[in-house]
Structure 1
Amino acid sequence: MFELIREDWRAYEGDICRQGLWVMVVYRFGRWRYNIRQRWLRLPFSLLYRLLKLASQILTGIDLPCETQVGRRLVIEHFGGIIISGDTVIGDDVVIRNGVTIGLKHTGIAGAPVIGNRVDIGTGAKILGAIRIGDDVAIGANAVVLKDVPANSLAVGVPAVIKPRKLQE
Protein backbone atom coordinates (compact mmCIF):
# COMPACT_ATOMS: atom_id res chain seq x y z
CA MET A 1 0.00 0.00 0.00
CA PHE A 2 2.70 2.51 0.96
CA GLU A 3 4.71 1.98 -2.23
CA LEU A 4 1.58 2.59 -4.32
CA ILE A 5 0.79 5.73 -2.31
CA ARG A 6 4.36 6.95 -2.91
CA GLU A 7 3.83 6.46 -6.65
CA ASP A 8 0.52 8.34 -6.42
CA TRP A 9 2.31 11.12 -4.50
CA ARG A 10 4.85 11.44 -7.34
CA ALA A 11 2.08 11.29 -9.99
CA TYR A 12 0.37 14.22 -8.26
CA GLU A 13 3.72 16.04 -7.98
CA GLY A 14 3.51 16.01 -4.18
CA ASP A 15 0.65 18.51 -4.17
CA ILE A 16 -1.48 17.70 -1.10
CA CYS A 17 -4.14 20.14 -2.33
CA ARG A 18 -5.13 17.96 -5.30
CA GLN A 19 -8.33 16.13 -4.42
CA GLY A 20 -7.49 13.21 -6.69
CA LEU A 21 -4.60 12.37 -4.37
CA TRP A 22 -6.98 12.25 -1.39
CA VAL A 23 -9.25 9.84 -3.25
CA MET A 24 -6.32 7.63 -4.25
CA VAL A 25 -5.06 7.39 -0.65
CA VAL A 26 -8.53 6.35 0.56
CA TYR A 27 -8.80 3.87 -2.34
CA ARG A 28 -5.38 2.32 -1.58
CA PHE A 29 -6.31 2.02 2.11
CA GLY A 30 -9.61 0.34 1.17
CA ARG A 31 -7.79 -2.22 -1.00
CA TRP A 32 -5.11 -2.82 1.66
CA ARG A 33 -7.63 -3.72 4.37
CA TYR A 34 -8.62 -6.83 2.39
CA ASN A 35 -5.17 -8.23 3.20
CA ILE A 36 -6.21 -8.60 6.85
CA ARG A 37 -7.44 -12.19 7.00
CA GLN A 38 -9.28 -12.25 10.32
CA ARG A 39 -12.67 -10.62 9.92
CA TRP A 40 -12.74 -9.25 13.47
CA LEU A 41 -9.36 -7.54 12.92
CA ARG A 42 -10.46 -6.16 9.54
CA LEU A 43 -13.76 -4.77 10.91
CA PRO A 44 -12.39 -1.52 12.46
CA PHE A 45 -10.39 -0.82 9.29
CA SER A 46 -13.52 -1.42 7.19
CA LEU A 47 -15.46 1.05 9.33
CA LEU A 48 -12.67 3.62 9.01
CA TYR A 49 -12.59 3.07 5.23
CA ARG A 50 -16.34 3.64 4.93
CA LEU A 51 -16.05 6.91 6.86
CA LEU A 52 -13.05 8.08 4.83
CA LYS A 53 -14.74 7.13 1.54
CA LEU A 54 -17.89 9.04 2.48
CA ALA A 55 -15.82 12.08 3.47
CA SER A 56 -13.84 11.95 0.22
CA GLN A 57 -17.04 11.63 -1.82
CA ILE A 58 -18.55 14.66 -0.11
CA LEU A 59 -15.39 16.76 -0.39
CA THR A 60 -14.38 15.81 -3.93
CA GLY A 61 -17.45 14.54 -5.79
CA ILE A 62 -15.49 11.44 -6.83
CA ASP A 63 -16.82 7.91 -6.32
CA LEU A 64 -13.99 5.37 -6.62
CA PRO A 65 -14.94 2.21 -4.70
CA CYS A 66 -12.15 -0.06 -3.48
CA GLU A 67 -13.63 -2.94 -5.51
CA THR A 68 -12.45 -1.23 -8.70
CA GLN A 69 -9.13 -2.59 -9.96
CA VAL A 70 -6.87 0.41 -10.51
CA GLY A 71 -3.34 0.21 -11.84
CA ARG A 72 -0.44 2.44 -10.93
CA ARG A 73 -0.35 6.23 -11.14
CA LEU A 74 -4.02 6.95 -11.89
CA VAL A 75 -4.35 10.74 -12.07
CA ILE A 76 -7.70 12.40 -11.51
CA GLU A 77 -6.87 15.73 -13.10
CA HIS A 78 -9.95 17.69 -12.08
CA PHE A 79 -12.41 16.78 -9.37
CA GLY A 80 -16.19 16.64 -9.38
CA GLY A 81 -18.85 14.41 -10.83
CA ILE A 82 -16.65 11.36 -11.39
CA ILE A 83 -18.40 8.00 -11.00
CA ILE A 84 -16.50 4.73 -11.46
CA SER A 85 -18.17 1.33 -11.13
CA GLY A 86 -16.74 -1.22 -8.73
CA ASP A 87 -16.51 -3.74 -11.59
CA THR A 88 -14.25 -1.53 -13.72
CA VAL A 89 -10.60 -2.36 -14.42
CA ILE A 90 -8.25 0.58 -15.03
CA GLY A 91 -4.66 0.20 -16.25
CA ASP A 92 -1.50 2.16 -15.47
CA ASP A 93 -0.89 5.87 -16.14
CA VAL A 94 -4.54 6.72 -16.88
CA VAL A 95 -5.75 10.34 -16.68
CA ILE A 96 -9.39 11.11 -15.83
CA ARG A 97 -10.98 14.55 -15.89
CA ASN A 98 -14.16 15.91 -14.28
CA GLY A 99 -17.64 14.67 -15.12
CA VAL A 100 -16.51 11.22 -16.27
CA THR A 101 -18.70 8.14 -15.79
CA ILE A 102 -17.19 4.68 -16.19
CA GLY A 103 -19.45 1.75 -15.53
CA LEU A 104 -22.43 -0.39 -16.32
CA LYS A 105 -24.56 0.23 -19.40
CA HIS A 106 -27.79 -0.89 -17.70
CA THR A 107 -28.62 -1.36 -14.03
CA GLY A 108 -28.60 -5.00 -13.04
CA ILE A 109 -26.72 -6.16 -16.14
CA ALA A 110 -23.12 -7.12 -15.39
CA GLY A 111 -20.28 -5.85 -17.52
CA ALA A 112 -18.09 -2.84 -16.86
CA PRO A 113 -15.28 -1.40 -19.00
CA VAL A 114 -11.68 -2.59 -18.99
CA ILE A 115 -9.41 0.38 -19.64
CA GLY A 116 -5.85 -0.12 -20.87
CA ASN A 117 -2.64 1.71 -20.04
CA ARG A 118 -1.89 5.36 -20.83
CA VAL A 119 -5.50 6.25 -21.59
CA ASP A 120 -6.49 9.94 -21.51
CA ILE A 121 -10.19 10.41 -20.70
CA GLY A 122 -11.62 13.85 -21.49
CA THR A 123 -14.07 15.93 -19.49
CA GLY A 124 -17.61 14.57 -19.37
CA ALA A 125 -16.83 11.32 -21.20
CA LYS A 126 -19.09 8.32 -20.58
CA ILE A 127 -17.61 4.83 -20.98
CA LEU A 128 -20.35 2.27 -20.53
CA GLY A 129 -20.80 -1.48 -20.77
CA ALA A 130 -18.61 -4.56 -21.07
CA ILE A 131 -16.12 -2.96 -23.45
CA ARG A 132 -12.34 -2.79 -23.78
CA ILE A 133 -10.37 0.39 -24.23
CA GLY A 134 -6.90 -0.35 -25.66
CA ASP A 135 -3.56 1.14 -24.65
CA ASP A 136 -2.60 4.69 -25.67
CA VAL A 137 -6.17 5.78 -26.39
CA ALA A 138 -7.52 9.33 -26.12
CA ILE A 139 -11.23 9.73 -25.38
CA GLY A 140 -12.56 13.16 -26.27
CA ALA A 141 -14.57 15.48 -24.08
CA ASN A 142 -18.22 14.44 -23.74
CA ALA A 143 -17.71 11.31 -25.86
CA VAL A 144 -20.10 8.43 -25.22
CA VAL A 145 -18.15 5.20 -25.71
CA LEU A 146 -20.34 2.11 -26.05
CA LYS A 147 -18.06 -0.21 -28.04
CA ASP A 148 -14.47 -1.43 -27.94
CA VAL A 149 -11.72 1.03 -28.81
CA PRO A 150 -8.51 -0.46 -30.25
CA ALA A 151 -5.05 0.63 -29.11
CA ASN A 152 -3.63 3.91 -30.46
CA SER A 153 -7.05 5.34 -31.28
CA LEU A 154 -9.11 8.43 -30.65
CA ALA A 155 -12.79 8.17 -29.62
CA VAL A 156 -14.89 11.31 -30.12
CA GLY A 157 -18.58 12.17 -30.43
CA VAL A 158 -21.97 10.87 -29.35
CA PRO A 159 -21.94 7.93 -29.86
CA ALA A 160 -18.16 7.82 -30.13
CA VAL A 161 -16.56 7.45 -33.53
CA ILE A 162 -13.21 5.65 -33.48
CA LYS A 163 -10.33 7.21 -35.43
CA PRO A 164 -6.64 6.28 -35.63
CA ARG A 165 -4.58 8.42 -33.29
CA LYS A 166 -1.72 10.42 -34.79
CA LEU A 167 0.96 10.45 -32.11
CA GLN A 168 3.23 13.49 -31.96
CA GLU A 169 6.89 12.80 -32.52
Structure 2
Amino acid sequence: MVDQLREDRQAHDGDVTTPGFQAVASARIGAWVDAGEAPRWARVPADLVSRAGYLMCRNVYGIELPRTVALGRRVRIAHQSGIVIHPHATIGDDCVIRQNVTLGAGSGKPETFRRQAPRIGNGVSIGAGCAIVGGVRVGDGANLGPNTTIMTNVPEGATVVDQQPRVLRIPTVR
Protein backbone atom coordinates (compact mmCIF):
# COMPACT_ATOMS: atom_id res chain seq x y z
CA MET A 1 0.00 0.00 0.00
CA VAL A 2 2.85 2.41 0.74
CA ASP A 3 4.17 2.06 -2.83
CA GLN A 4 0.70 2.71 -4.24
CA LEU A 5 0.31 5.85 -2.11
CA ARG A 6 3.74 7.05 -3.25
CA GLU A 7 2.71 6.56 -6.89
CA ASP A 8 -0.62 8.29 -6.24
CA ARG A 9 1.20 11.27 -4.73
CA GLN A 10 3.40 11.49 -7.83
CA ALA A 11 0.32 11.28 -10.07
CA HIS A 12 -1.07 14.29 -8.17
CA ASP A 13 2.10 16.32 -8.85
CA GLY A 14 3.60 15.40 -5.47
CA ASP A 15 0.98 17.44 -3.60
CA VAL A 16 -0.68 15.55 -0.73
CA THR A 17 -3.01 18.48 -0.06
CA THR A 18 -4.99 18.09 -3.27
CA PRO A 19 -8.55 16.82 -2.76
CA GLY A 20 -8.01 14.12 -5.41
CA PHE A 21 -5.01 12.64 -3.62
CA GLN A 22 -6.82 12.73 -0.28
CA ALA A 23 -9.82 10.89 -1.75
CA VAL A 24 -7.62 8.21 -3.33
CA ALA A 25 -5.55 7.84 -0.14
CA SER A 26 -8.68 7.44 2.02
CA ALA A 27 -10.02 4.75 -0.29
CA ARG A 28 -6.67 2.92 -0.36
CA ILE A 29 -6.31 2.95 3.42
CA GLY A 30 -9.87 1.63 3.82
CA ALA A 31 -9.27 -1.14 1.27
CA TRP A 32 -6.02 -2.03 3.09
CA VAL A 33 -7.95 -2.46 6.34
CA ASP A 34 -10.83 -4.38 4.68
CA ALA A 35 -8.43 -6.78 2.95
CA GLY A 36 -6.92 -7.70 6.33
CA GLU A 37 -3.46 -6.54 5.24
CA ALA A 38 -3.14 -3.95 7.99
CA PRO A 39 -1.33 -5.10 11.15
CA ARG A 40 -3.69 -5.80 14.01
CA TRP A 41 -2.52 -2.77 16.01
CA ALA A 42 -3.13 -0.43 13.03
CA ARG A 43 -6.61 -1.58 12.02
CA VAL A 44 -8.71 0.69 14.24
CA PRO A 45 -6.67 3.89 13.71
CA ALA A 46 -6.38 3.26 9.94
CA ASP A 47 -10.11 2.57 9.72
CA LEU A 48 -10.87 5.84 11.54
CA VAL A 49 -8.51 7.77 9.25
CA SER A 50 -10.15 6.20 6.18
CA ARG A 51 -13.69 6.94 7.35
CA ALA A 52 -12.87 10.52 8.36
CA GLY A 53 -11.07 11.08 5.07
CA TYR A 54 -14.01 9.69 3.10
CA LEU A 55 -16.47 11.97 4.92
CA MET A 56 -14.21 14.98 4.40
CA CYS A 57 -13.77 14.25 0.70
CA ARG A 58 -17.47 13.58 0.14
CA ASN A 59 -18.92 16.43 2.19
CA VAL A 60 -16.32 19.15 1.63
CA TYR A 61 -14.68 18.37 -1.72
CA GLY A 62 -17.61 16.61 -3.38
CA ILE A 63 -15.64 13.45 -4.24
CA GLU A 64 -17.47 10.24 -3.40
CA LEU A 65 -14.91 7.45 -3.78
CA PRO A 66 -15.86 4.46 -1.59
CA ARG A 67 -13.19 2.13 -0.25
CA THR A 68 -14.88 -0.79 -2.02
CA VAL A 69 -13.95 0.52 -5.49
CA ALA A 70 -11.31 -1.63 -7.24
CA LEU A 71 -8.83 1.18 -7.73
CA GLY A 72 -5.85 0.83 -10.07
CA ARG A 73 -2.45 2.41 -9.58
CA ARG A 74 -1.70 6.09 -10.21
CA VAL A 75 -5.36 7.09 -10.56
CA ARG A 76 -5.56 10.87 -10.77
CA ILE A 77 -8.60 12.89 -9.76
CA ALA A 78 -7.73 16.11 -11.53
CA HIS A 79 -10.42 18.39 -10.12
CA GLN A 80 -12.84 18.27 -7.23
CA SER A 81 -16.62 18.61 -7.08
CA GLY A 82 -19.51 16.43 -8.14
CA ILE A 83 -17.62 13.13 -8.52
CA VAL A 84 -19.72 10.06 -7.68
CA ILE A 85 -18.32 6.55 -8.15
CA HIS A 86 -20.29 3.30 -7.84
CA PRO A 87 -19.11 1.32 -4.80
CA HIS A 88 -18.34 -1.74 -6.95
CA ALA A 89 -16.77 0.06 -9.92
CA THR A 90 -13.39 -0.95 -11.31
CA ILE A 91 -10.93 1.76 -12.35
CA GLY A 92 -7.71 0.72 -14.10
CA ASP A 93 -4.16 2.05 -13.81
CA ASP A 94 -3.17 5.56 -14.96
CA CYS A 95 -6.72 6.89 -15.34
CA VAL A 96 -7.67 10.57 -15.08
CA ILE A 97 -11.05 11.59 -13.67
CA ARG A 98 -12.19 15.20 -13.95
CA GLN A 99 -14.93 17.18 -12.18
CA ASN A 100 -18.63 16.27 -12.23
CA VAL A 101 -18.05 12.67 -13.34
CA THR A 102 -20.50 9.91 -12.48
CA LEU A 103 -19.75 6.19 -12.62
CA GLY A 104 -23.12 4.80 -11.65
CA ALA A 105 -25.72 2.06 -11.89
CA GLY A 106 -28.44 2.09 -14.51
CA SER A 107 -31.21 1.42 -12.00
CA GLY A 108 -31.70 1.29 -8.27
CA LYS A 109 -32.89 -2.32 -8.11
CA PRO A 110 -30.99 -4.01 -5.27
CA GLU A 111 -30.78 -7.37 -7.08
CA THR A 112 -28.94 -5.87 -10.07
CA PHE A 113 -27.04 -3.01 -8.40
CA ARG A 114 -23.71 -4.84 -8.04
CA ARG A 115 -23.72 -6.03 -11.69
CA GLN A 116 -24.30 -2.48 -12.93
CA ALA A 117 -20.91 -1.18 -11.85
CA PRO A 118 -18.87 0.32 -14.70
CA ARG A 119 -15.43 -1.13 -15.49
CA ILE A 120 -12.83 1.36 -16.65
CA GLY A 121 -9.68 0.08 -18.38
CA ASN A 122 -6.09 1.32 -18.05
CA GLY A 123 -5.07 4.78 -19.25
CA VAL A 124 -8.61 6.10 -19.69
CA SER A 125 -9.19 9.86 -19.67
CA ILE A 126 -12.66 10.82 -18.43
CA GLY A 127 -13.74 14.35 -19.35
CA ALA A 128 -15.60 16.83 -17.17
CA GLY A 129 -19.29 16.07 -16.75
CA CYS A 130 -19.04 12.56 -18.21
CA ALA A 131 -21.60 10.00 -17.01
CA ILE A 132 -20.80 6.30 -17.36
CA VAL A 133 -23.95 4.39 -16.52
CA GLY A 134 -24.55 0.67 -16.05
CA GLY A 135 -22.34 -2.38 -16.30
CA VAL A 136 -20.38 -1.10 -19.28
CA ARG A 137 -16.72 -1.66 -20.07
CA VAL A 138 -14.50 1.22 -21.21
CA GLY A 139 -11.47 -0.17 -23.03
CA ASP A 140 -7.83 0.68 -22.34
CA GLY A 141 -6.64 4.05 -23.62
CA ALA A 142 -10.11 5.43 -24.35
CA ASN A 143 -10.74 9.18 -24.24
CA LEU A 144 -14.18 10.24 -23.09
CA GLY A 145 -14.99 13.83 -23.96
CA PRO A 146 -16.74 16.33 -21.72
CA ASN A 147 -20.44 15.83 -21.00
CA THR A 148 -20.67 12.49 -22.77
CA THR A 149 -23.08 9.86 -21.55
CA ILE A 150 -21.73 6.33 -21.90
CA MET A 151 -24.30 3.53 -21.79
CA THR A 152 -22.63 0.98 -24.09
CA ASN A 153 -19.19 -0.60 -24.14
CA VAL A 154 -16.38 1.58 -25.47
CA PRO A 155 -13.63 -0.16 -27.47
CA GLU A 156 -9.96 0.11 -26.64
CA GLY A 157 -8.35 3.36 -27.83
CA ALA A 158 -11.65 4.97 -28.88
CA THR A 159 -12.49 8.64 -28.49
CA VAL A 160 -16.08 9.41 -27.56
CA VAL A 161 -17.53 12.92 -27.88
CA ASP A 162 -21.00 14.34 -27.47
CA GLN A 163 -23.03 15.74 -30.32
CA GLN A 164 -22.17 19.19 -31.53
CA PRO A 165 -24.37 21.82 -29.89
CA ARG A 166 -26.86 23.52 -32.15
CA VAL A 167 -28.08 27.08 -32.01
CA LEU A 168 -31.82 27.58 -31.85
CA ARG A 169 -33.25 30.85 -32.98
CA ILE A 170 -36.10 31.73 -30.70
CA PRO A 171 -38.15 34.80 -31.56
CA THR A 172 -37.98 37.50 -28.97
CA VAL A 173 -41.11 39.14 -27.66
CA ARG A 174 -41.07 42.93 -27.76
TM-score range, shorter chain: 0.7 to 0.9
Letter of the structure 2 residue corresponding to residue 10 of structure 1? Q
TM-score by length of 2: 0.83
The whole-number CA distance in structure 2 between the counterparts of 1:98 and 1:34 is: 28
Give the number of aligned pairs.
157
1:136 counterpart residue number: 141
Going from structure 1 to structure 2, the CA distance change for 1:49 and 1:15 (only over 3 Å counts) comes to closer
Q: 1:25-54 CA deviation, whole Å, 9 max, x = no partner?
A: 11111111123379x964554344222211
The whole-number CA distance in structure 1 between the counterparts of 2:128 and 2:53 is: 26
Judge conservation of contact 1:87–1:103 (CA < 8 Å) in 2: no
**Shift of residue 60, structure 1, vs aligned partner:** 1.2
Q: How does 1:49-88 map to 2 (within 5 A)?
A: 49-88=50-89
The whole-number CA distance in structure 1 between the counterparts of 2:76 and 2:117 is: 20
Going from structure 1 to structure 2, the CA distance change for 1:106 and 1:13 (only over 3 Å counts) comes to same
Q: 1:6-40 CA deviation, whole Å, 9 max, x = no partner?
A: 000111121233210111111111111123379x9
RMSD of the TM alignment (CA)?
A: 1.9
2:128 counterpart residue number: 123
Letter of the structure 1 residue corresponding to residue 62 of structure 2? G
Q: Which has the larger radius of gyration?
A: 2
The whole-number CA distance in structure 1 between the counterparts of 2:137 and 2:149 is: 14
Q: How does 1:140-159 map to 2 (within 5 A)?
A: 140-157=145-162
Q: 1:39-95 CA deviation, whole Å, 9 max, x = no partner?
A: x96455434422221122122110000100010000011110000011100101000
Secondary structure of the residue aligned to 2:22 is: helix
Structure 2 spans left out of the alignment, 5+ residues: 164-174
Secondary structure of the residue aligned to 1:127 is: strand
TM-score by length of 1: 0.86
**Shift of residue 120, structure 1, vs aligned partner:** 0.5
- Larger fraction in strand: 1
The whole-number CA distance in structure 2 between the counterparts of 1:156 and 1:50 is: 36
The whole-number CA distance in structure 2 between the counterparts of 1:12 and 1:118 is: 15
The whole-number CA distance in structure 2 between the counterparts of 1:100 and 1:66 is: 17
